[in-house]
Amino acid sequence: MDLLNTQKPRYARVEGSTSSISQQWNTPLVKQIMIFLSVLLACILSFTAGRYTSSGRNASISSSSSSSINPGYGIPISTHKHPFTYNRTFGSPPNASTNAAWAALFPEQGGYLTHPTYAPTRSALSVFHQLHCLDGLRTALWTIYDHATTQTALLDPASLPDHLAPPHMRHCIDLLRQSLMCNPDLAAERVNVRLGGVTGFGTMHVCRDWEELVGFVAQWEYYGLSAEEVARKKERVGMGGHGGGHDTGEHAASEEHHHGS
């Protein structure tokens, strides 16, 4: 479905939808009461919105100032122009080939590192958390699709692993929403006249060099760790992971999911 090309529906009044009830609400007294209530409601909402906006700004400032991680704009990664091309692999169902393609996007420890300037405490670069979430959405989509097209019984939500459960999906969708809005890609996608919309592919973008970024993280992913910690994390990678994991229990219930180290 071409979501960008979906026409907004036009609505018309249903024939015979007017009733005597609407006429009763059309008297001068009722109109005056409704106007008064509307003004009163507008005042209340304005006051509430002002308090909410003010507290939101304060919370945002407090949150950003207390962060221990440098936003990363000084990380020495070059940029280059690159056209987007469609690759079916990353949107296809989970299997050995597609899972390997996704795993290859990550450094050995899943994007975690410690750096004396950018991340003095153990941290993950946000882009790898975002990719982790996108891969989780892919897995959830195909899991549900497979069940819907091959099974007769309804899917039991309790049977879903934590990383495919609705709380984690909500977490990931909102994380990706805020990430896209925080650093919007302003490349202009030309309309395909034949399709009447845009596909997103074939447009030139200014991109950071991905191989350089992965290489940078690889240099610092074991920095500051003891020999025992390094051995434990490398063993975890050898068991088929890439340094990632999921929280369970209380954190899962409160939707405080994380891209585990």
At residue 252, what are phi and psi to the nearest 5 degrees?
Answer: -65, -40
Q: What is the pLDDT of residue 253?
A: 41
Question: CA-CA distances (angstroms) from residue 204 to 78, 145, 201?
Answer: 16, 33, 9
Q: What is the pLDDT of residue 258?
A: 60
Question: Is the distance from CB of 246 to CB of 168 less than 8 angstroms?
Answer: yes
Segments making up each domain of the chain, as ranges: 88-206
How far apart (Å, rounded) are the C-alpha atoms in residues 68 and 224? 16
Determine the residue type at 118: Y
How many residues are given for the chain? 261
How far apart (Å, rounded) are the C-alpha atoms in residues 239 and 233? 10
Q: What is the pLDDT of residue 71?
A: 56
Q: What is the pTM of this model?
A: 0.66
> What is the chain's pLDDT, residue by residue, as a tens digit (261 residues)?
443 444 433 333 333 434 443 444 444 544 454 444 454 444 444 444 444 334 444 444 344 444 444 556 678 899 999 999 999 999 999 999 999 999 999 999 999 999 998 899 999 999 999 999 999 999 999 999 999 999 888 888 888 888 888 999 999 999 999 999 999 999 999 999 999 999 999 999 999 999 999 999 999 999 999 988 999 888 887 655 555 443 333 334 445 556 666
What pLDDT digit, counting tens, does each position of 203-257 carry? 999 999 999 999 999 999 999 999 889 998 888 876 555 554 433 333 344 455 5
Helix pair angle (166-182, 126-150), 10° resolution? 140
